[in-house]
Chains A and B, each alone.
Chain A
Amino acid sequence: MAQTSRRYAISDIPLVKRVLKSRWPQWLAVALMLGFFVLAILAGLFGTPAGNRNFGIVFVWIVWWALLMLLLVPVAGRLWCGVCPIPAPGEWLQRRTLIAPGKGGKLHTLGLKWPKRWRNIWLQNLGFLGVALFSTVILTTPLVTALVLLGFVLIALVTSVLFERRTFCRYLCPVGGFIGLYSQVAPLELRVRDPEVCVGHRDKTCYTGSDDGYGCPWLVFPGKLTSNTYCGLCTECLKTCTLDNVALYVRQPGKDLVTPQRRGVDEAFKGLIMLACAFVYSAVLLGPWGALKDAARAPFTLPWLAYAAVFLALNLIVVPGLFVLAVRAGAWLARRGGRTMAASDHKHAFVEYAAALVPLGLAAWIAFSLSFVLINFSYAWPTLSDPFGWGWNLFGATGLGWTPYLPGLTAYLQIPVMLVGLAAAVGVVLKTAHRHGCGTLAATPVVAFCSAATVGLLALFLA
C-alpha cells in the first residue's frame, strides 16, 4: 500500500482497485438505488398518504437521511453522490450507453456552457432554502415527496441534455451542496498521487476522457483538487488516468478545513444557511411550539408567510450578520493587540473563518438527526413489509408497532457530538487566525459565535 504523509491509498489494495476500476459495482449500486427510488416514487404517488406507513417517506426521510448524515457524509464524504440515482438517467442519455464507455469518452449534449455568473453554489443555496421552507410538507406528505424526487430527476435530465457533464450535480442539486460542504470533514479523499505528474501529462485524460471513461463529470481537474467539496467520488478519473496517478485515500479527518483553499462567499453562506436551518428545523420539528409547527405546515397562509419571512431573515440576514460582526470584532481585537490581520480584507476573513462552521454544522445536523432517527427508525420494518400501506405483509413485520430506539440515550449522544463539533470548529478558527498572523484573542469572537450556536442548539435538543 502506498503511503504518503498522513494518508493511505486504499485503492492500492488489489480488491479495492478492481472494484474501483470496474464499472459494474458502481453501476449496480446506482441501479439498486434507482430501484429504491422508483419504489419511493410509486409509494408516494399510489400509496397511503399516512407518512409513517409509506415507503417513500420512511425510507427517504428517515432511513436514507440517517445513512447520509450519520454515516456516509461524516465517514465517506460524497460517496452518496457516487451512487445517487437522480443524475443517472441524464448521464446515460449523455453517454448514449448504459455502462460500457463510448469511444474517447464522448458525450452527446447540446454543448451549452453553464453561465459563468452561476458557476458557484448560490443556486444550490437557494434551492436548499426553497426545499427547507416547505420541508414540513415535503417530509410528511408522500405525494409531495414523490413529486419533488421526480422534479429533481426531470431537472437533472433536462440539464444533462442542454449542458455538459453533471451540471445539475455541480451547480443545482440542493442536497449535493451541503454534502460537498460537509464532505471536507470526511477521512476519505480522491486525489492525485503527485500533481507534478499531471502537469507533465499532455492528454489529461482525467479531464478530457478516453476510451476507458469520461472526463471528470464534476468539471474538476483532479490534478488541482485540494478539497472534497466538488469531487463527486464518481471515480472516472481513476479509470481514465493512464499514469495510475489517481488514488482513493484514507486521510486525517477535516484535512480540507485546515489547509489553505480557495473558498467563495457562496460556500461561506452554505455553512451559515445550514447552521441556521439546523436551528429552524430543531425548533419546528423537535420543539414544543404548536403554533410554529402549524404555521410551517400551512404554505401560503398568513402565518406561513410570517414564518417564511422569519426563516429567510434568519438564514440570509441574522445568522450571517452575527457572523460578520464576530469576524469584524476579531479584526478589531487584532488591531488593538497591535497585530494586523494578513487577511485584512473583511470578505476574505469572513470566508476563511466560515470554514469553522463546517464541523460545527455537521455536528448540529448529526445531533438533530439522532433525535428523530432513533425515535422513528422502527417505522422502517412495517414499511418494508407493506411499502404502500395497502395491507400487505411481505416479511411478517406489518404488525410491528412504533418503538423508539434508545430514547434515553439520545441526549448523551447529542452532547458529545456537539462538543466534538465545537472543538473542531474552535480548532479551525484558531488555525485560521494564526495562519493570518493574528493571536488567539482575535479568534475569540468567532469562537464565541460557535459556542453560542452550540449552546443554543443543545438547548433546543435537550429542552
Chain B
Amino acid sequence: MKHNLFALIVLLLLLVGLPAAIFAYRTARDTADGLRVIEIQAQAPEAGGFIPDRLELTAGETVKLRVVSPDVVHSFFIPELGVNIDEVYPGKPVEVTITPQEPGRYAFACTRWCSVDHWRMRGVIEVLPADAATQSTQSAETSKKPLFEQLGIDLDAMRHAPTALPAATPSAARGAALARRGTEPGAPASPARPPFEDVQARKRVSPADAFLELRAAPENAGLSDDQVWDLVAWAWLQDVSPETLAQAQTLYSRDCAACHGETGQGDGVAGENLPGLAKMDPAMRRGPADFTDAGQMLSAPDALLHGKILRGGMGTGMPEFGSLYTDAELWAMVSYLRTFLFTK
C-alpha cells in the first residue's frame, strides 16, 4: 500500500505537477516585470504574415512585444519607433519593449526576404491618445465608415464596361484650357463643368458616367469626344498637387509595382501565381488589376478604388492598405492610379 501511494505521488507529480509547473513558470516569467506582453507570430505571408497585424496601444504605454517565427527567418522593423530586429529565427522568440509617446499609426514590417510574398508582410500599431476624451473623439474618427461603405458600393461586384471610351489619352492640361475658355468673343460657350469640380461629389461617380453627363450637356455640343474626355481628366486631377502624386508614386513603387507592374499594366513578377488566383472567377481577369485597362478603370468611381486599396484582398492576398496608409495617402494613391490613363 505504501509503495502504491509513493508511486501515485510520483505519477501525480509527473502528470499534473510537471504541466502545472511549466505553465506557472511561463506565466510568472511573462508577468515578472509587470509589462503587458503581446505575442506576434511572424510567419510567411502565405501562412498569414504577422498575426496579429494590427495592435492598439495607448500613447505612453510600455509593452513588451514578443516576436515568434514558426517557419523561416524573418525580421521585425518599426522604423518610426527605432525598432529593428534583424533576425527572428524559427522557434527563437525575440522580445522588444516599446513606449510610443505620440498618437498615430506606426507601421511595422519584415525586411528579410522570407518568401515570394515577403513584401506583403506588414502590420500597423495604432497608438491612441492617452486622454480619454480625445481618445473617444479619435475612436469615433477612426471608426467612421469609409466612403465606399457609406455609398453601399460592393467592391467585388461585376461592373459593366463603359459604353464610351477615349480614343486618345485624355489630358488634364487640355481639359483645364477648355475649362478656362468661353470668355473670348466668338469662342464656344464655357463647357459644362459641375458637379465634377466638387471633390466629394466627384468621388462618387465614375469617369465614364462623368463623360456621359458632360457629353449630354448642351453647352458641350460643340466639343469633340476627346475634348470631353480632356475635361473629365481635368476634373479628376485638377486639385491633385504634383507633390501628392510624387508621394503616391513612391508608395506605388514600393508597395504596388511588384504585382501591378511599374507601368500599372498588372504585369509585375510578384503577381504571377498569387495565392487565390486559381479560385478567382474565370470570367474575371486573373491576376493583379491592369490600371491601364480603360474599360475597368473608367467605370470605377474613386470611392470604389479607395475601398479596394483600403481593404485589399480580392482573393489575391493583396494587403489591407487601410492599416498601412493614412487616408490622405489612400486618396493620393487613387489619384495616382488615374494618371495611368490621364496625363496631368
Q: Interface of A with B (CB < 8 Å)?
A: 23-24, 27-28, 31, 34-35, 38-39, 42, 48-50, 52-54, 97-100, 388-392, 398
Q: Let me know if B91 and A98 touch, CB within 8 A.
A: no
In the complex with contacts A390-B26, A391-B95, A53-B90 CB distance below 8 A: yes
Tell me, in angstroms, the Cα distance from A42 to B26 when the chains sit together.
Answer: 13
A24 / chain B contacts, CB cutoff of 8 Å: 3
Closest to B1 in A: A100
Given that A98-B7, A389-B91, A389-B92 are known contacts, is A48 also in contact with B70, CB under 8 Å in the complex?
A: yes
Q: Is the CB of B71 within 8 A of A98?
A: no
How many residues of B sit at the interface, in one of the four size bands?
20 to 34
Tell me the complex Cα distance, A196–B3, Å.
36
Measured CA separation A392–B1 after assembly (Å): 40
**Looking across the interface, which residue of chain A has its beta carbon closest to that of B90?**
A50
CB contacts under 8 Å to A, within B1-42, are: 1, 3-4, 7-8, 10-11, 14-15, 18-19, 22, 25-26, 29
Is B4 a contact of A42 with CB atoms below 8 Å?
A: no
Query: A391: shortest Cβ distance to chain B, in Å?
Result: 4
Tell me the B85-105 residues at the A interface (CB within 8 Å): 90-95
Q: Is B14 within 8 A of A34, CB to CB?
A: yes
Nearest Cβ distance between residue A57 and chain B, in whole angstroms? Answer: 10
Pick the contact of A52: B10, B15, B22, B90 (CB < 8 A).
B90
Does B127 belong to the interface (CB within 8 Å)? no
4 closest pairs, A vs B, by CB?
Answer: A53-B91, A50-B91, A50-B90, A389-B91
Q: Is the CB of A48 within 8 A of B90?
A: yes
Number of A-B contacts (CB under 8 A): 67
Q: In residues 292-307 of chain B, which contact A (Cβ within 8 Å)?
A: none
Evaluate contact between A98 and B8: CB separation under 8 angstroms: yes
Contact of A54 among B4, B25, B91, B93 (CB under 8 A): B91
**Selected contact of B93 from candidates A42, A99, A389, CB within 8 Å:** A389
The yes or no answer to B311 lying at the interface (CB within 8 A) is no
Choice from A23, A48, A98, A392 contacting B11 with Cβ under 8 Å: A98
A100:B4 contact, CB within 8 angstroms: yes
Q: Are B70 and A42 in contact (CB under 8 A)?
A: no
Q: Is the CB of B11 within 8 A of A390?
A: no
The smallest beta-carbon distance between B43 and chain A, in angstroms, is: 9
**Residue pair A52, B91 in contact (C-beta under 8 Å):** yes
CA distance A48 to B66 in the complex (A): 13
**Closest CB of chain B to A173's CB: distance in Å?**
22
* B257 within 8 A of partner (CB): no
* Of A31, A53, A98, A391, the contact of B4 (CB 8 Å cutoff): A98
Chain A residues whose CB sits within 8 angstroms of the CB of B25 once the complex forms? 392
Chain A CB within 8 A of B68 CB? yes
- The smallest C-beta distance from A83 to any residue of chain B, in angstroms, reads 14
Question: In the complex, which residue of chain B has the Cβ closest to the Cβ of A391?
Answer: B93
Residues from chain A with a CB closer than 8 A to the CB of B339 are none
- Separation of A50 and B68 alpha carbons in the complex (Å): 10
- Whether B22 and A35, one on each chain, are in contact in the complex, defined by CB atoms closer than 8 angstroms, is no
A52 to chain B, nearest CB (A): 7
Q: By the criterion CB–CB under 8 Å, are A99 and B71 in contact?
A: no
Give the chain B neighbours of A388 by CB distance below 8 A. 22, 26
A38-B29 contact in complex given A52-B90, A100-B1, C-beta closer than 8 Å: no
Given contact pairs A38-B14, A391-B66, A99 touches B19 in the complex (Cβ within 8 A): no
B69 within 8 Å of A by Cβ?
yes
State in angstroms the CA–CA spacing of A34 and B94 once bound together.
Answer: 31
> Which chain A residues border B11 with CB–CB below 8 Å?
31, 34, 98
**Residues of B with C-beta under 8 A to A99:** 3-4, 7
B69 contact set on A, CB distance < 8 A: 50
Q: Kindly provide the distance from the CB of B2 to the nearest chain A CB, expressed in whole angstroms.
A: 9
- Chain B residues lying within 8 Å of A50, measured Cβ to Cβ, are 69-71, 90-91
Q: Which of B181-235 contact A (CB under 8 A)?
A: none
